[in-house]
Chains A and B, each alone.
Chain A
């Protein structure tokens, strides 16, 4: 599955570091999403972008900062993270933001905060 790619696949960072996660979709979609997946918990929707504009922000801490420079690329900038932020971060895309639109997911970035 190469429709949605994410880099890096694994990331270990200290609490004072600044890093960025990258997502790219090759499907021609107009909407992109960031999710957090923690063990044994439901997927948590963090951010939604439609046509490069943010349409949803589920009260995510400011230490997570998204950026969507165009409809194919999505970034998640990380700074001053906490150990509880360790999780799998998934990127997804869909044709639009209207439900029901099938979301296509990338493989995720496994983040560990020390």
Chain B
């Protein structure tokens, strides 16, 4: 199983770029990497997903090195509203259908 590890918390300031890295040393060939965002009193919300190299959408970028043992979520020019918990999820596509969630990174954005 691909156990995921991510920092417990991070601080940054408005307008800065924030990078959150997730380690998943035992990732399998068919696994995808997905990041979710969660605000208090809400369920997680999908941010971005990738398999390898780089993926970019309107809110974030996801960098995955060739060995795929880690991934980095990049949030450009953060604002106060980006204060949330960010989860890394590694999907295991096999008959056991395991979904391995990280413990989450609490990101606090300061003015």
Of A45, A99, A100, A107, chain B has the most CB atoms within 10 Å of the CB of A99
Q: Specify the main secondary structure of chain B where it touches its partner.
A: loop
A105 to B36, CA, bound (A): 10
Contact of B93 with A102 in the complex, beta carbons under 8 Å: no
Number of A-B contacts (CB under 8 A): 59
On whether A103 and B46 interact (CB within 8 A), knowing A43-B87, A98-B93, the answer reads yes
Give B residues with C-beta under 8 Å from A. 4, 8, 30-32, 34, 41-46, 49, 51, 87, 91-93, 96-104
24 A-B pairs (CB sep. < 8 Å)? A1-B42, A1-B45, A40-B8, A42-B4, A42-B87, A42-B101, A42-B104, A43-B44, A43-B101, A45-B99, A48-B97, A90-B44, A91-B43, A99-B30, A99-B91, A99-B97, A99-B99, A100-B34, A100-B49, A100-B91, A103-B46, A105-B43, A105-B45, A108-B41
